[in-house]
Structure 1
Amino acid sequence: IKDLEGLEKAKEELRDRYGLYPQEVRNLLEIIYLKTFLKSLGIISLIVKGEVVVLRYPPDVNIKAKLDRLPLLYQRRLIKEGKKLVGISKIDLSGVNSPEILKFLKEFIIDLSK
């Protein structure tokens, strides 16, 4: 799956072959969606380590301006190391329930794309 269109085709094929799929498959499809969408924003990877999400991106991707425009809800969760956010950004997920992490990340990424 290389783009969002490919993801939609894969979802359609899964539904055609297997009908409704379990929550675990839906979660996997959400993760694929998030990673594909992030790639379109220039973000190389999203990794969840415990209660922290780590976003990695090339230094030439100007993500700081986008992070500054995020709603306060997300800005409070940014972990700032030093004065610059170059190459890596970390988001604190403490207090976000496990079932809600995917929803939180999806909303965060959609807001980041604006």
Structure 2
Amino acid sequence: SGHIEGVGFDLYIRMVGEAVADFKGDGEEELPPMKVELPIDAHLPTDYVEHERLRLEAYRKLASAETEEALKEVLEELTDRYGPYPDEVAVLADVARLRIRARQSGISDIVTQGNFIRFGPAELAEWQVVRLKRLYPKALIKPALRSILVPKPVSPGKGFDKRELTGSELLEWCRTL
């Protein structure tokens, strides 16, 4: 049951998906790999979905949701089967929403890199570069690497009141960027 913590959610889902596809002999075209590596606590608690097989199935369904409607159906199924979901599952749903939005925008990597969050592959039009630089003057655009590095967001406030965004706040910030 500690496998997900060892390899990370995205890699774990990919490994499970590949194993299932190999077993079934599926030759259907799969979506390009999606990597979201942010400092958030998003998981299905064992006291919410007790059996590992059912948790894996739920993770797979959440990861494979390609639209908001599909995600809504998965969340409704979880609620029907296991009752109202805890905060960790709500954050996991926010991760799924971010994945959907990123995939629609052609982004496949959203990764914490030092004091930045890297988005890639990304190719911006001139107006998008101007807007990004206006909103985030310290953002770095790396055309050769097709990536954008944006400083980690902080909450509004002064001095000690400022803090890095985490959890759902961070996911929402990424989704609106």
Q: Give TM-score scaled by structure 2 length.
A: 0.48
2:161 aligned with 1:97: no
Give the corresponding residue for 2:139.
Answer: 78
User: How far did residue 27 of structure 1 move?
Assistant: 0.9
2:62 aligned with 1:3: no
2:130 aligned with 1:68: yes
Verify the 8 A CA contact 2:119 2:147 in the aligned structure 1. Answer: yes
Verify the 8 A CA contact 2:102 2:175 in the aligned structure 1. Answer: no
SS in 1 for 2:106: coil
- The two structures, once aligned, show a CA RMSD in angstroms of 2.6
SS in 1 for 2:107: coil
SS in 2 for 1:47: strand
Give the whole-Å Cα distance in 2 for the aligned partners of 1:50 and 1:21: 32
Verify the 8 A CA contact 1:56 1:89 in the aligned structure 2. Answer: yes
User: How far did residue 63 of structure 1 move?
Assistant: 2.4
Give the corresponding residue for 1:33.
Answer: 97
Runs of 5+ unmatched residues, structure 1:
109-114
Give the corresponding residue for 1:12.
Answer: 76
Pair 1:71–1:7, CA change in 2 (3 A):
farther
Verify the 8 A CA contact 1:46 1:56 in the aligned structure 2. Answer: yes
Verify the 8 A CA contact 1:53 1:90 in the aligned structure 2. Answer: yes
SS in 2 for 1:42: coil
Q: Give TM-score scaled by structure 1 length.
A: 0.69
Q: Whose relative contact order is higher, 1 or 2, with alpha carbons under 8 Å and at least 6 apart? A: 1
Question: Out of 5, 23, 38, which is 2:87 matched to?
Answer: 23
User: How far did residue 22 of structure 1 move?
Assistant: 1.2
2:116 aligned with 1:52: yes
Verify the 8 A CA contact 1:45 1:56 in the aligned structure 2. Answer: yes
Aligned residues: 102
Pair 1:103–1:37, CA change in 2 (3 A):
closer
Runs of 5+ unmatched residues, structure 2:
1-63, 155-163
- Give the structure with higher Rg (CA): 2
